[in-house]
Protein backbone atom coordinates (compact mmCIF):
# COMPACT_ATOMS: atom_id res chain seq x y z
CA UNK A 1 0.00 0.00 0.00
CA UNK A 2 2.83 2.41 0.92
CA UNK A 3 4.56 1.62 -2.36
CA UNK A 4 1.34 2.33 -4.24
CA UNK A 5 0.99 5.72 -2.54
CA UNK A 6 4.59 6.62 -3.41
CA UNK A 7 4.01 5.77 -7.08
CA UNK A 8 0.77 7.74 -7.12
CA UNK A 9 2.45 10.72 -5.50
CA UNK A 10 5.27 10.56 -8.00
CA UNK A 11 2.74 10.50 -10.84
CA UNK A 12 1.01 13.58 -9.49
CA UNK A 13 4.29 15.49 -9.16
CA UNK A 14 5.13 14.89 -12.86
CA UNK A 15 1.77 15.83 -14.28
CA UNK A 16 1.55 19.07 -12.35
CA UNK A 17 5.14 20.24 -13.02
CA UNK A 18 5.60 23.57 -14.84
CA UNK A 19 5.38 23.29 -18.60
CA UNK A 20 2.71 20.60 -18.73
CA UNK A 21 3.84 17.12 -19.72
CA UNK A 22 7.14 15.60 -18.63
CA UNK A 23 8.21 15.22 -22.29
CA UNK A 24 7.78 18.94 -22.96
CA UNK A 25 9.63 19.80 -19.76
CA UNK A 26 12.51 17.47 -20.60
CA UNK A 27 12.85 18.96 -24.07
CA UNK A 28 12.85 22.48 -22.68
CA UNK A 29 15.45 21.70 -20.02
CA UNK A 30 17.63 19.46 -22.19
CA UNK A 31 21.23 20.59 -22.46
CA UNK A 32 22.50 20.21 -26.02
CA UNK A 33 25.39 17.74 -26.14
CA UNK A 34 27.90 18.18 -28.97
CA UNK A 35 30.43 15.46 -29.71
CA UNK A 36 33.75 16.58 -31.21
CA UNK A 37 36.07 13.99 -32.76
CA UNK A 38 39.34 15.69 -33.67
CA UNK A 39 42.27 14.41 -35.72
CA UNK A 40 45.02 15.21 -33.21
CA UNK A 41 46.19 17.50 -30.43
CA UNK A 42 49.83 17.40 -31.55
CA UNK A 43 49.57 20.61 -33.57
CA UNK A 44 48.87 24.05 -32.07
CA UNK A 45 46.19 24.62 -34.70
CA UNK A 46 44.12 21.71 -33.46
CA UNK A 47 44.66 22.62 -29.82
CA UNK A 48 43.22 26.06 -30.52
CA UNK A 49 40.44 24.62 -32.69
CA UNK A 50 39.28 22.62 -29.68
CA UNK A 51 39.58 25.69 -27.44
CA UNK A 52 37.41 27.74 -29.79
CA UNK A 53 34.77 25.02 -29.84
CA UNK A 54 34.80 24.76 -26.06
CA UNK A 55 34.45 28.53 -25.66
CA UNK A 56 31.43 28.62 -27.97
CA UNK A 57 29.82 25.59 -26.32
CA UNK A 58 30.18 27.14 -22.86
CA UNK A 59 28.73 30.42 -24.10
CA UNK A 60 25.76 28.59 -25.67
CA UNK A 61 25.13 26.53 -22.54
CA UNK A 62 25.94 23.30 -24.41
CA UNK A 63 28.09 20.39 -23.30
CA UNK A 64 31.10 19.47 -25.45
CA UNK A 65 32.31 15.87 -25.40
CA UNK A 66 35.79 15.68 -26.93
CA UNK A 67 37.79 12.78 -28.37
CA UNK A 68 41.36 12.93 -29.73
CA UNK A 69 41.98 10.43 -32.55
CA UNK A 70 45.75 10.97 -32.30
CA UNK A 71 46.06 10.62 -36.07
CA UNK A 72 44.56 7.12 -36.10
CA UNK A 73 41.46 6.72 -38.28
CA UNK A 74 40.54 3.40 -36.65
CA UNK A 75 40.58 5.08 -33.26
CA UNK A 76 38.54 7.94 -34.68
CA UNK A 77 35.82 5.61 -35.91
CA UNK A 78 35.75 3.98 -32.47
CA UNK A 79 35.65 7.42 -30.83
CA UNK A 80 32.68 8.43 -32.97
CA UNK A 81 30.82 5.26 -32.03
CA UNK A 82 31.55 5.97 -28.36
CA UNK A 83 30.25 9.53 -28.67
CA UNK A 84 27.08 8.20 -30.29
CA UNK A 85 26.64 5.69 -27.46
CA UNK A 86 27.05 8.50 -24.92
CA UNK A 87 24.06 10.26 -26.44
CA UNK A 88 25.36 13.31 -28.31
CA UNK A 89 22.84 15.43 -30.22
CA UNK A 90 25.23 16.65 -32.94
CA UNK A 91 28.65 15.46 -34.08
CA UNK A 92 31.57 17.67 -35.11
CA UNK A 93 34.16 15.62 -36.99
CA UNK A 94 37.64 16.79 -37.96
CA UNK A 95 38.58 13.68 -39.97
CA UNK A 96 41.93 11.91 -39.92
CA UNK A 97 41.10 10.50 -43.35
CA UNK A 98 38.09 11.87 -45.29
CA UNK A 99 37.36 8.45 -46.80
CA UNK A 100 38.52 6.31 -43.89
CA UNK A 101 36.04 7.94 -41.52
CA UNK A 102 33.12 6.55 -43.54
CA UNK A 103 32.22 3.90 -40.90
CA UNK A 104 31.82 6.64 -38.30
CA UNK A 105 29.64 8.68 -40.63
CA UNK A 106 27.50 5.62 -41.33
CA UNK A 107 27.09 4.98 -37.61
CA UNK A 108 25.98 8.58 -37.07
CA UNK A 109 23.48 8.31 -39.91
CA UNK A 110 22.02 5.12 -38.45
CA UNK A 111 21.65 6.89 -35.10
CA UNK A 112 20.01 9.91 -36.81
CA UNK A 113 22.73 12.23 -35.50
CA UNK A 114 23.67 15.11 -37.84
CA UNK A 115 27.37 15.50 -38.68
CA UNK A 116 29.22 18.75 -39.30
CA UNK A 117 32.79 18.46 -40.54
CA UNK A 118 35.42 20.95 -39.38
CA UNK A 119 38.52 22.14 -41.29
CA UNK A 120 38.71 18.93 -43.34
CA UNK A 121 35.70 18.00 -45.51
CA UNK A 122 34.44 14.51 -46.39
CA UNK A 123 33.08 13.38 -49.78
CA UNK A 124 29.58 12.85 -48.37
CA UNK A 125 27.69 12.24 -45.14
CA UNK A 126 27.85 15.68 -43.51
CA UNK A 127 25.04 18.24 -43.40
CA UNK A 128 27.56 21.10 -43.37
CA UNK A 129 31.29 21.80 -43.56
CA UNK A 130 32.95 24.61 -41.60
CA UNK A 131 36.31 25.55 -43.06
CA UNK A 132 38.23 27.85 -45.32
CA UNK A 133 39.16 28.13 -48.98
CA UNK A 134 42.43 26.22 -48.86
CA UNK A 135 43.08 26.76 -52.56
CA UNK A 136 42.98 30.49 -51.90
CA UNK A 137 45.31 30.19 -48.91
CA UNK A 138 47.84 28.25 -50.96
CA UNK A 139 47.51 30.77 -53.76
CA UNK A 140 48.09 33.75 -51.45
CA UNK A 141 51.32 32.27 -50.13
CA UNK A 142 52.36 31.19 -53.62
CA UNK A 143 51.89 34.64 -55.10
CA UNK A 144 54.09 36.13 -52.40
CA UNK A 145 56.82 33.51 -52.93
CA UNK A 146 56.73 34.06 -56.70
CA UNK A 147 57.10 37.79 -56.12
CA UNK A 148 60.09 37.23 -53.82
CA UNK A 149 61.86 34.96 -56.32
CA UNK A 150 61.21 37.31 -59.22
CA UNK A 151 61.79 36.47 -62.91
CA UNK A 152 64.84 34.35 -62.10
CA UNK A 153 62.63 31.83 -60.34
CA UNK A 154 64.36 28.84 -58.79
CA UNK A 155 63.68 25.63 -56.91
CA UNK A 156 60.96 25.49 -54.26
CA UNK A 157 60.68 22.65 -51.75
CA UNK A 158 57.07 21.89 -50.78
CA UNK A 159 56.50 20.15 -47.45
CA UNK A 160 53.09 18.53 -47.56
CA UNK A 161 50.38 17.99 -44.95
CA UNK A 162 48.43 14.73 -44.88
CA UNK A 163 48.31 12.11 -47.61
CA UNK A 164 44.92 12.03 -49.30
CA UNK A 165 43.58 15.01 -47.36
CA UNK A 166 41.56 17.71 -49.11
CA UNK A 167 43.35 20.47 -47.16
CA UNK A 168 46.79 19.36 -48.32
CA UNK A 169 45.54 18.82 -51.87
CA UNK A 170 43.96 22.27 -52.08
CA UNK A 171 46.87 24.13 -50.50
CA UNK A 172 49.16 22.47 -52.99
CA UNK A 173 46.82 23.26 -55.88
CA UNK A 174 46.56 26.94 -54.98
CA UNK A 175 50.31 27.30 -54.61
CA UNK A 176 50.94 25.58 -57.95
CA UNK A 177 48.48 27.94 -59.64
CA UNK A 178 50.24 30.97 -58.21
CA UNK A 179 53.74 30.07 -59.42
CA UNK A 180 52.76 28.45 -62.74
CA UNK A 181 53.25 31.66 -64.72
CA UNK A 182 57.01 31.51 -64.18
CA UNK A 183 58.51 28.55 -66.11
CA UNK A 184 61.77 28.99 -64.22
CA UNK A 185 60.18 27.93 -60.97
CA UNK A 186 60.51 24.23 -60.17
CA UNK A 187 58.64 22.62 -57.27
CA UNK A 188 60.12 19.63 -55.47
CA UNK A 189 57.37 17.77 -53.61
CA UNK A 190 58.56 16.78 -50.15
CA UNK A 191 57.04 14.10 -47.91
CA UNK A 192 53.79 14.25 -45.98
CA UNK A 193 54.60 15.45 -42.48
CA UNK A 194 51.04 15.54 -41.08
CA UNK A 195 51.29 19.24 -40.14
CA UNK A 196 53.72 18.39 -37.30
CA UNK A 197 56.89 20.46 -36.83
CA UNK A 198 59.16 17.66 -35.63
CA UNK A 199 58.37 15.61 -38.74
CA UNK A 200 59.11 18.62 -40.95
CA UNK A 201 62.45 19.15 -39.23
CA UNK A 202 63.50 15.58 -39.99
CA UNK A 203 62.26 15.84 -43.58
CA UNK A 204 63.94 19.19 -44.21
CA UNK A 205 67.33 17.91 -43.13
CA UNK A 206 67.23 15.34 -45.93
CA UNK A 207 65.58 17.69 -48.43
CA UNK A 208 68.21 20.39 -47.95
CA UNK A 209 71.04 17.90 -48.44
CA UNK A 210 69.42 16.62 -51.64
CA UNK A 211 68.56 20.11 -52.93
CA UNK A 212 71.37 22.53 -52.04
CA UNK A 213 70.22 24.89 -54.80
CA UNK A 214 66.82 25.50 -53.16
CA UNK A 215 65.57 29.09 -53.22
CA UNK A 216 62.36 28.82 -51.17
CA UNK A 217 60.37 26.46 -48.95
CA UNK A 218 56.59 26.29 -48.83
CA UNK A 219 54.88 24.19 -46.17
CA UNK A 220 51.18 23.42 -45.87
CA UNK A 221 51.12 24.97 -42.40
CA UNK A 222 53.27 27.35 -40.38
CA UNK A 223 54.26 24.75 -37.83
CA UNK A 224 56.02 22.72 -40.53
CA UNK A 225 57.38 25.87 -42.18
CA UNK A 226 58.93 26.94 -38.88
CA UNK A 227 60.52 23.51 -38.62
CA UNK A 228 62.04 24.03 -42.07
CA UNK A 229 63.21 27.51 -41.03
CA UNK A 230 64.96 26.01 -38.02
CA UNK A 231 66.92 23.60 -40.24
CA UNK A 232 67.81 26.35 -42.70
CA UNK A 233 69.17 28.57 -39.94
CA UNK A 234 71.12 25.71 -38.39
CA UNK A 235 72.76 25.25 -41.81
CA UNK A 236 73.31 29.01 -42.27
CA UNK A 237 70.99 29.11 -45.27
CA UNK A 238 69.44 32.49 -44.58
CA UNK A 239 69.17 33.03 -48.34
CA UNK A 240 66.24 30.60 -48.62
CA UNK A 241 62.78 32.17 -48.31
CA UNK A 242 60.06 30.42 -46.29
CA UNK A 243 56.26 30.61 -46.44
CA UNK A 244 53.44 28.74 -44.77
CA UNK A 245 49.72 28.82 -44.01
CA UNK A 246 47.65 29.32 -40.83
CA UNK A 247 48.72 32.70 -39.42
CA UNK A 248 50.54 31.19 -36.45
CA UNK A 249 51.73 34.21 -34.43
CA UNK A 250 55.21 32.72 -34.13
CA UNK A 251 55.37 32.78 -37.92
CA UNK A 252 53.87 36.27 -38.17
CA UNK A 253 56.52 37.58 -35.76
CA UNK A 254 59.26 35.78 -37.73
CA UNK A 255 58.35 37.79 -40.83
CA UNK A 256 60.17 40.78 -39.34
CA UNK A 257 63.43 38.85 -39.72
CA UNK A 258 63.14 38.86 -43.51
CA UNK A 259 63.48 35.14 -44.26
CA UNK A 260 59.92 34.11 -43.44
CA UNK A 261 57.90 36.03 -46.00
CA UNK A 262 54.26 34.92 -45.95
CA UNK A 263 51.41 33.10 -44.29
CA UNK A 264 47.64 33.06 -44.78
CA UNK A 265 45.20 33.60 -41.93
CA UNK A 266 43.46 30.49 -40.63
CA UNK A 267 42.32 31.41 -37.11
CA UNK A 268 41.29 28.11 -35.46
CA UNK A 269 39.55 29.76 -32.50
CA UNK A 270 37.11 31.45 -34.86
CA UNK A 271 36.68 28.27 -36.87
CA UNK A 272 35.92 26.22 -33.75
CA UNK A 273 33.39 28.79 -32.63
CA UNK A 274 31.69 28.76 -36.03
CA UNK A 275 31.51 24.98 -35.93
CA UNK A 276 29.68 24.97 -32.60
CA UNK A 277 27.37 27.79 -33.72
CA UNK A 278 26.53 25.75 -36.81
CA UNK A 279 25.89 22.68 -34.65
CA UNK A 280 23.57 24.66 -32.39
CA UNK A 281 21.68 26.02 -35.41
CA UNK A 282 21.32 22.54 -36.86
CA UNK A 283 20.02 21.16 -33.57
CA UNK A 284 17.44 23.95 -33.25
CA UNK A 285 16.06 23.20 -36.70
CA UNK A 286 17.48 26.23 -38.48
CA UNK A 287 18.74 25.96 -42.04
CA UNK A 288 22.50 25.61 -42.15
CA UNK A 289 24.46 26.10 -45.39
CA UNK A 290 26.40 23.17 -46.79
CA UNK A 291 29.59 25.26 -46.51
CA UNK A 292 30.45 27.86 -43.88
CA UNK A 293 33.50 29.92 -44.88
CA UNK A 294 35.64 31.18 -41.98
CA UNK A 295 37.64 33.52 -44.27
CA UNK A 296 41.36 34.20 -44.86
CA UNK A 297 43.87 36.92 -45.85
CA UNK A 298 47.57 37.26 -46.63
CA UNK A 299 50.10 38.27 -43.98
CA UNK A 300 53.46 39.41 -45.35
CA UNK A 301 56.10 42.10 -44.64
CA UNK A 302 53.67 44.84 -45.65
CA UNK A 303 51.22 44.17 -42.79
CA UNK A 304 52.76 41.68 -40.35
CA UNK A 305 53.59 44.39 -37.81
CA UNK A 306 49.88 45.12 -37.47
CA UNK A 307 49.24 41.72 -35.91
CA UNK A 308 50.25 41.95 -32.28
CA UNK A 309 49.27 40.24 -29.07
CA UNK A 310 49.82 37.03 -27.15
CA UNK A 311 47.32 34.84 -29.01
CA UNK A 312 48.65 31.68 -30.62
CA UNK A 313 47.13 32.59 -34.00
CA UNK A 314 46.63 35.94 -35.70
CA UNK A 315 43.09 37.24 -36.12
CA UNK A 316 41.59 39.06 -39.07
CA UNK A 317 41.97 42.82 -38.72
CA UNK A 318 38.74 44.79 -38.36
Asked if residue 198 lies in contact with residue 227, where contact means CB atoms within 8 angstroms, the answer is yes
Asked if residue 224 is part of any domain, the answer here is yes
Asked if residue 217 lies in contact with residue 183, where contact means CB atoms within 8 angstroms, the answer is no
CATH value at residue 191:
3.40.50.2300
The percentage of the chain sitting over the pLDDT mark of 70, rounded to a whole number, equals: 90
Residues 138 and 261 in one domain: yes
Range of the domain at 39: 32-132+268-287
Asked if residue 12 is part of any domain, the answer here is no
What confidence tens digit (pLDDT) does each residue in 113-164 have?
999 999 999 999 999 999 999 999 999 999 999 999 999 999 999 999 999 8
| Number of structural domains the chain divides into | 2
Residues 119 and 103 in one domain: yes
Residues 167 and 236 in one domain: yes
Asked if residue 269 lies in contact with residue 295, where contact means CB atoms within 8 angstroms, the answer is no
Model pLDDT, residue 318:
54
29: pLDDT confidence band, cut at 50, 70 and 90? low
What confidence tens digit (pLDDT) does each residue in 69-117 have?
999 999 999 999 999 999 999 999 999 999 999 999 999 999 999 999 9
Model pLDDT, residue 15:
29
Amino acid sequence: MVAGLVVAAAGCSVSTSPGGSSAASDKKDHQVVIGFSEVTQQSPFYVQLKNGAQQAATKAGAKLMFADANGDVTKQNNDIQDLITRGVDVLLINPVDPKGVAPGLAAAKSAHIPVITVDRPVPSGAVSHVGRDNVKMGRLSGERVAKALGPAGGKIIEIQGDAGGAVARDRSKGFDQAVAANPKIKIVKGPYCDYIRSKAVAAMQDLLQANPDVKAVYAHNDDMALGALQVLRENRRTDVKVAGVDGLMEAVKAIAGGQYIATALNDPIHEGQLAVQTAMNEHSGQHVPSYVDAGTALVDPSNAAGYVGSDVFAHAQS
